[in-house]
């Protein structure tokens, strides 16, 4: 079972490995040290092959359940944050001791969405990872669940792993959970087919993506596929596999589902713009503008804009959407939202001289469809 994506992951000099809550914790007992040791064993083996690894680990909330005498993952935010506060220490200590068996030093990195959405924070995080890796440490990353809000509700560690993979210049991303691969339906229902390779977006057409079999995680397979698509679109090959097969996944990458990277790797700025930055509004485009922006990589002019939503200022990031409300690109807008209603649909020569500029310049625009 070889492919370009699998070979790239097997030979990668820098990897991001993400492991889900369901692969590390059990209901009632909390953190499963045996499973954690097995994961660390596999990572240590790959580290021994001169590969740098950043580990994105869920499991803080699950690890905090048993110490707080909680029988199940709490539903209310305050209790989730309390569990994360206790569990994060437990998880970090467990990783430090487990990697210590191989004389490996662990560095904990807690991130919130701001750390990848705000450009200045993004650069700071990039420098931190670079220095940790140069010093031979293994960065262990988690969302800062103790103070996070949306992140806890939506279980975004898969997306976080994709963002970190590009941020550190990783050669591959491995997503580990309690599901061994992507299937063409819910594998629990039977009669489904395992999908070994995703070579393009069209390979995902018509697939019914199921959820994790555990009640401890919140991401599920849908989250993993979204993260894999983000990383692959930015030039990073991805492997989705079972945590129980971590050794094979990290050694030969001959298990699970591999996502082929699409084209050249995006620059750090364009990746941040397309996938990490927060959007402050939407520009609605006609069919001609969609073709110009997506297919021809042209700037967006006022003549192609049909409507505006949001509350943004010149210099903010906005989504560009087509007639079906699909986001086809993102970019840095050159006008305030209050200026655009008088400009949309008008040719450049019809505009006042001080407003004869692109609404979104091609240099500040990233197509999200057709890559």
- Residues 141/134, Cβ–Cβ less than 8 Å: no
> 235 a known binding residue?
no
Exposure string of 308-334, with b = 16+ CB inside 10 Å and e = fewer, is beeebeeebbbbbbbeeeeebbbbbbb
> 144 a known binding residue?
no
> 213 a known binding residue?
no
> What is the CB neighbour count within 10 angstroms for residue 267?
12
Q: Which residues pair with 53 in a beta bridge?
A: 15
Q: Which residue from 133, 146, 108, 163 is spatially nearest to 273, judged by alpha carbons?
A: 163
DSSP string, 65-88: TTTTT-SS--SSHHHHHHHHHHHH
> 296 a known binding residue?
no
> 211 a known binding residue?
no
> 194 a known binding residue?
no
Which H or E run contains 163? helix 157-167
Structure tokens at 65: 């359940």
> 142 a known binding residue?
no
d(CA 142, CA 56): 6
> What is the CB neighbour count within 10 angstroms for residue 150?
10
d(CA 184, CA 332): 37
3-state secondary structure of 17: strand
- Residues 24/36, Cβ–Cβ less than 8 Å: yes
d(CA 12, CA 231): 15
- Residues 173/91, Cβ–Cβ less than 8 Å: no
Structure tokens at 200: 């393009």
Task: List, in order, residues 6 or more apart from 94 with CB less than 8 Å away.
Answer: 31, 33, 36, 63
Structure tokens at 305: 């804009």
> 158 a known binding residue?
no
d(CA 70, CA 328): 44
> 210 a known binding residue?
no
Q: Which residue from 294, 293, 312 is spatially nearest to 303, judged by alpha carbons?
A: 293
> 190 a known binding residue?
no
> 145 a known binding residue?
yes
Q: Which residues are annotated as a binding site for substrate?
A: 58, 145, 157
> Which segments are annotated as binding site for ATP?
18, 177-178, 218-224
Residues at the annotated binding site? Answer: 18, 58, 145, 157, 177-178, 218-224
């Amino acid at each position: 079972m070889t492919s370009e994506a699998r070979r790239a992951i097997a030979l990668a000099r820098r990897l991001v490995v993400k492991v889900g809550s369901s692969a590390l914790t059990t209901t009632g007992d909390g953190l499963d040290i045996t499973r954690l040791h097995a994961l660390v064993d596999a990572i240590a083996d790959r580290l021994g092959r001169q590969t740098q690894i950043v580990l994105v680990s869920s499991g803080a909330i699950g690890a905090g359940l048993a110490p707080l005498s909680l029988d199940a993952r709490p539903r209310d935010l305050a209790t989730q944050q309390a569990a994360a506060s206790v569990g994060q220490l437990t998880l970090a200590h467990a990783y430090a001791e487990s990697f210590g068996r191989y004389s490996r030093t662990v560095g904990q990195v807690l991130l919130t969405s701001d750390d990848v959405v705000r450009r200045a924070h993004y650069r700071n995080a990039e420098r931190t990872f670079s220095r940790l890796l140069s010093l031979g440490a293994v960065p262990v990353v988690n969302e800062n669940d103790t103070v996070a809000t949306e992140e806890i509700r939506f279980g975004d560690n898969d997306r976080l792993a994709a963002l970190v993979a590009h941020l550190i210049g990783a050669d591959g991303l491995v997503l580990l959970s309690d599901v061994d691969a992507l299937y063409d339906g819910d594998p629990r229902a039977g009669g489904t087919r395992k999908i070994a390779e995703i070579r393009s977006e069209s390979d995902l057409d018509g697939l019914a993506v199921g959820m994790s079999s555990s009640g401890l995680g919140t991401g599920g397979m849908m989250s993993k596929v979204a993260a894999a698509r983000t990383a692959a679109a930015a030039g990073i090959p991805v492997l989705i596999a079972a945590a129980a097969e971590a050794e094979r996944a990290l050694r030969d990458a001959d298990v699970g589902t591999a996502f082929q990277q699409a084209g050249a790797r995006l620059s750090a700025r364009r990746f941040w713009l397309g996938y990490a930055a927060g959007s402050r509004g939407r520009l609605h485009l006609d069919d001609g503008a969609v073709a110009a922006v997506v297919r021809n990589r042209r700037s967006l002019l006022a003549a192609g804009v049909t409507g505006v939503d949001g509350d943004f200022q010149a210099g903010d990031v906005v989504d560009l959407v087509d007639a079906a409300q699909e986001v086809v690109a993102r970019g840095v807008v050159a006008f305030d939202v209050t200026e655009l209603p008088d400009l949309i649909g008008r040719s450049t020569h019809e505009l006042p001289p001080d407003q004869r500029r692109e609404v979104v310049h091609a240099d500040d625009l990233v197509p999200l469809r057709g890559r």
